[in-house]
Structure 1
Amino acid sequence: MPDSARTTTSFPLDAYFERIGWEGGRRPDAATLRGVQLAHMRAIPFENLDALGGRAPSLDLSDLTAKLVHGRRRGGYCYEHNTLFAAVLEALGVRVTRLTARVVVGADRFADRPRTHMALLADLPGDPRPHLADVGFGAVGSLLEPVPLVADTEFEDAGRRHRLVHAPHRGPLEMWVLQAYVAGGWQAQYAFTVEPFEPSDYEMINWHIATNPRSPFSRRPYVQRLTPDAHLLLDGDRVTVTRTDDGTVTERKVADEAEARRVLDEEFGIDVPEGLTLLR
């Protein structure tokens, strides 16, 4: 299995674990990987406020640590979350391959979607199966815990249901598709191969997604927060709450800029950058 493992011995694990509220083990095993991913997703929100302000967020690890770990009331989107999480896993002794994926929710043809999502493949010592790990997919169908890279097997991750399947693909590598069981059926979330990508690749993709005027992340707020009870989403001027227990979905409209700021403060735990206009 190709990998882009790195050594991150100076990563501030103590501060990170305090940020996500993790008091469990620190061994490079499946139990730690599952627990830390879930804790991360419940502690650090997904948000695109830097891109909404016209700026590509820094992917430098020290900047990410300042924003997501020490910042407390900010989050980030996939490149930020998974760049940080890769450093965490490597500091724990896990070998990490950085991947890119095509977000295919609602797509008729996978090839019509570019590779704009970052995900991770984690190789655990003594475990022959790599695990798909991902703390940065901003959707209700996101993985809550890593799953083994095994085809046609259903996994339950903290109450959600996922499986990986293969899809037809013209390239030399197998195309994997992450599916989530949503609204009574299996829905494709993203498609990927296990080709490793490097930080320079994400720098380019990150700049494009953050600054392209056609990108949804540069045009409207897209923020999500995960709690044990619900998945919260602010998409433009709409707040959607999906209950964990029964999947009940409620939606409401945000009236104006002041209410949008209040919602982010009180419900998402996010401080809006000074000077940023949320609703346009």
Structure 2
Amino acid sequence: MTDQHDTADSDLDAYLARIGWDGPRRPDLETLRGVHLAHQRAIPFENLDAFQRIAPSLDPADLTAKLVHGRRGGYCFEQNLLFARALRSLGFEVATLGARVTVGTDIVESRPRTHMLLHVLVPGDPRPYIADVGFGSVTGLAGPVPLLAGPEFEDAGRRHRLVHLPHAGPLELWGLQAGTESGWATQYAFTLDPFEHADAEVSNWYVATHPRSPFTHRPYAQRTTPDGHLALDARRLVETHADGTVTERDLADAAEIRRVLDDRFGITAPDGLDLLPAKH
């Protein structure tokens, strides 16, 4: 009979093999940074379950089966819950937080908390860190950042900072901002109120099944690579190169979308899934 410790060790081994991490397994900042970037480059962001109006399972065994063994990716809840479990196995203390994605709006309160990120404590380091392998975008975090307002941090060519945002609530509101050619752009806003598993289940169901969720209308996939970033939005493929140049093209049909997902993103799309978005 296999006990829970054996299963956890086996899952950690499989996870680290999946992301290609053969470095230290110490609960220190070097390991946190290395595993964060390795995860981001190995496991793609994708919404193919939500595109089928299926809420993906957040059960640890199902996450391991899908993202580690199944040649699939996932979105923020799946990615960060898998990452959090691995970090805890490595000896970090991790709490999950909920965020309101602010891209495309100036009114923070107009968005529900449909994003998950992580609050990580490194043994012996008095500073908490924010980590997030589930934002997917080219403006997402490439590594953890200290929970400090103001300083700019750079990792793998991406610039970020945390700021305090004005709001009427009793808790301090933090904003993660990305440095872009046009200045600092707020990606999402969050408080340090814990976002429990039950909260994630509700948000996961909403994002994957609600008719107003953009994830239910067209396929999305994103992948960070050592040479840049790939993004698929419906049939539009966007490649951001290491020098900052961007190339775009429209894929011809569902068969080409499936081939690109397989060849460029490392995603095996479910059999029988029509990858062309519905026309409205």
Q: Above 0.5 in TM-score?
A: yes
CA distance in 1, matches of 2:179, 2:6: 38
Indicate the residue corresponding to 1:105 in structure 2: 103
For 2:39 and 2:22, the matched residues in 1 are separated by 12
Instruction: Say which of 165, 170, 173 aligns to 2:171.
Output: 173
CA distance in 2, matches of 1:31, 1:169: 35
Q: Deviations for 1:26-52, whole angstroms, at most 9, x for unmatched residues?
A: 111111000000000000000000111
TM (normalized to structure 1)?
Answer: 0.95
Matched, 1:258 2:255: yes
| Partner of residue 82, structure 1 | 80
SS at match of 1:96: strand
Q: CA deviation at 1:184?
A: 3.7
Residues 8 and 91, structure 1, Cα contact 8 Å, conserved in 2: no
Looking at structure 1, the residues matched to 101 and 220 of structure 2 have their Cα atoms a distance apart, in angstroms, of 15
Q: Decide which moves more: 179-188 or 109-118.
A: 179-188
Q: Which residue of 1 aligns with 2:12?
A: 13
**How far apart are 1:10 and its partner, in Å?**
4.1
Deviations 1:181-230 (A, max 9, x none): 12241111010001002111111110110001111111100100111001
The separation in 1 between residues aligned to 2:104 and 2:47, in whole angstroms, is 21
Q: Tell me which amino acid in the other structure corresponds to 1:52.
A: F
Which amino acid in structure 2 is aligned with residue 250 of structure 1?
T
SS of alignment partner, residue 97 of structure 1: strand
CA distance in 2, matches of 1:8, 1:82: 21
Q: Which runs of 5+ in 2 are unaligned?
A: none
**Where do residues 187-202 of structure 1 align in structure 2 (5 Å cutoff)?**
187-202=185-200
Q: CA deviation at 1:269?
A: 1.2
Q: Which residue of 1 aligns with 2:265?
A: 268
Q: Secondary structure at the match of 1:217?
A: helix
1:33 alignment partner in structure 2:
32
1:214 matched residue in structure 2: 212
Of all paired residues, the percent bearing the same amino acid is: 64
- Output the CA distance in 1 between the equivalents of 2:20 and 2:42: 8
Aligned with 2:45: secondary structure?
coil
**What is the deviation of 1:9?**
7.7
Letter in 1 for 2:253: D
Question: Which residue type is aligned with residue 93 of structure 2?
Answer: R
Over 3 Å counting, the alpha-carbon distance change for 1:165 and 1:8 in structure 2 is farther
Q: Is the 8 A contact 1:8 1:90 kept in 2?
A: no
For residues 231-242 of structure 1, the aligned pairs below 5 Å read: 231-242=229-240
Assess if the C-alpha contact under 8 Å between 1:52 and 1:218 holds in 2: yes
* Pairing of 1:109-188 with structure 2 (within 5 A): 109-188=107-186
- How far, CA to CA, are the matches of 1:183 and 1:236 in structure 2? 25
Maintained 8 Å contact 2:136/2:223: no
Within-5 A mapping of 1:55-94: 55-71=54-70, 73-94=71-92
Aligned residue for 2:246?
A: 249
1:217-269 deviation per Cα after TM superposition (whole angstroms, max 9, x unaligned): 1110010011100100000110011112x211111111111111111111111
Whole-Å separation in 2 of the counterparts to 1:197 and 1:106: 23
What SS class does the counterpart of residue 193 from structure 1 fall into? Answer: strand
CA distance in 2, matches of 1:258, 1:222: 16
* Cα distance, 1:8–1:167 mapped onto 2, change above 3 Å: farther
Look up the equivalent residue of 1:192 and give its one-letter code: F
Cα distance in 1 for residues equivalent to 2:170 and 2:7:
37
Looking at structure 2, the residues matched to 107 and 10 of structure 1 have their Cα atoms a distance apart, in angstroms, of 43
CA distance in 1, matches of 2:244, 2:207: 30
Cα distance in 1 for partners of 2:96, 2:167 equals 20
* Distance apart, 1:164 and its partner CA: 0.4
Gaps of 5+ in 1: 1-6
Task: Measure the CA separation in 2 of the matches of 1:29 and 1:172.
Answer: 33
Aligned CA RMSD, in angstroms, stands at: 1.3
Partner SS state of residue 200, structure 2: helix
Q: Quick check: 1:95 aligned with 2:93?
A: yes
* In structure 2, distance between residues paired with 1:28 and 1:171: 34
